């Protein structure tokens, strides 16, 4: 097997038009990758792609995708597959934080629906392109917030039970991210596909500004002077996409550039398996990486 290098690799990044996603895209393009950014708003995506191309000196493709709609995810996956025979790196970066209960187009609780189910479906649909690469990586941007839950009832999904709290929903979605990444690594063992999850650090982005919670948004703004820049927050995603000989650490969780120990629940293999099976049922896809 040839030594891993990002140059010439095909990369897709969800949420690539702003924040950590844009910074990740810009750096990987600068290093010679062929990058597609997945975006919800086509106009914003095109503007970001043009800016990244000016900064990095290489073109960037734009893929319109709404992770709140399984129909949109399926259509986007079809469009990407039609134009790309292989996918070397899939970075599941997009994320939302909502202060009030909202639902997706399919009726899912929106935070887990977008942050987990949309990405689960996308990864499953694009898995044949990952497999075609021979050696590929799936990188899931999670958060240290995944440590917050002390229980996770997957049978409640995709709905919500009890009083809705935005931070609880966000933390649950990030726990789902870490569980997914670990289970994907186990199921994809022997396929040449590696899977990682990460906490980028506390980064100054608009994640709490574009939702509908004034208090969290205000606190986020006030705390920005202590936060990392998007470029600093992108460093761990870039590391996992570019570092040679990291495949033997597949399934691990990284925080701010270093391997870290995830929460007790995130290390629960039975919970990860139950979440995987439940996710297949909810999105209507049999995702069998090892078969």
Nearest to 88 by CA among 51, 35, 41: 35
Total Cβ atoms within 10 A of residue 162:
7
Catalytically annotated residue among 98, 164, 170, 253: 170
Measured distance CA(15)–CA(203) in Å, rounded: 15
Residue 170: active-site member: yes
Contact partners, residue 241, CB within 8 Å, separation at least 6: 6, 11, 24, 28, 33, 89, 91, 137, 139
Residue 256 is given by DSSP the state T
Q: What is the DSSP string of 181-230?
A: HHHHHHHTTTTTEEEEEEE--SB--STTTSSS-HHHHHHHHHTGGGSBPH
Active-site residue set? 170
């Amino acid at each position: 097997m040839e030594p891993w290098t990002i140059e010439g690799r095909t990369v897709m990044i969800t949420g690539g038009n702003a924040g950590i996603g844009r910074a990740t895209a810009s750096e990987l393009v600068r290093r010679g990758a062929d990058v597609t950014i997945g975006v919800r708003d086509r106009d914003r995506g095109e503007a970001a792609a043009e800016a990244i191309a000016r900064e990095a000196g290489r073109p960037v493709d734009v893929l319109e995708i709404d992770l709140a709609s399984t129909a949109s995810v399926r259509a986007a996956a079809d469009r990407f597959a039609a134009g790309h025979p292989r996918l070397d790196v899939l970075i599941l970066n997009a994320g939302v934080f909502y202060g009030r209960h909202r639902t997706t187009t399919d009726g899912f609780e929106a935070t887990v629906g977008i942050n987990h189910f949309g990405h689960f479906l996308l990864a499953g649909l694009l898995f044949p392109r990952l497999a075609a690469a021979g050696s590929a990586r799936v990188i899931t941007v999670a958060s240290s917030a995944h440590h917050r839950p002390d229980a996770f009832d997957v049978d409640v999904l995709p709905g919500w039970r009890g009083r809705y709290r935005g931070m609880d929903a966000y933390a649950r979605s990030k726990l789902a991210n870490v569980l997914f990444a670990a289970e994907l690594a186990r199921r994809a063992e022997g396929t040449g596909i590696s899977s990682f999850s990460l906490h980028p650090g506390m980064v100054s982005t608009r994640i709490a500004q574009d939702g509908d919670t004034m208090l969290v948004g205000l606190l986020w703004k006030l705390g920005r002077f202590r936060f990392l820049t998007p470029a600093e927050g992108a460093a761990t995603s870039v590391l996992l996409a570019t570092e040679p000989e990291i495949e033997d650490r597949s399934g691990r969780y990284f925080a701010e550039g270093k391997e870290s120990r995830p929460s007790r629940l995130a290390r629960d293999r039975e919970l990860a398996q139950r979440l995987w099976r439940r996710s297949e049922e909810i999105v209507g896809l049999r995702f069998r990486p090892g078969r």
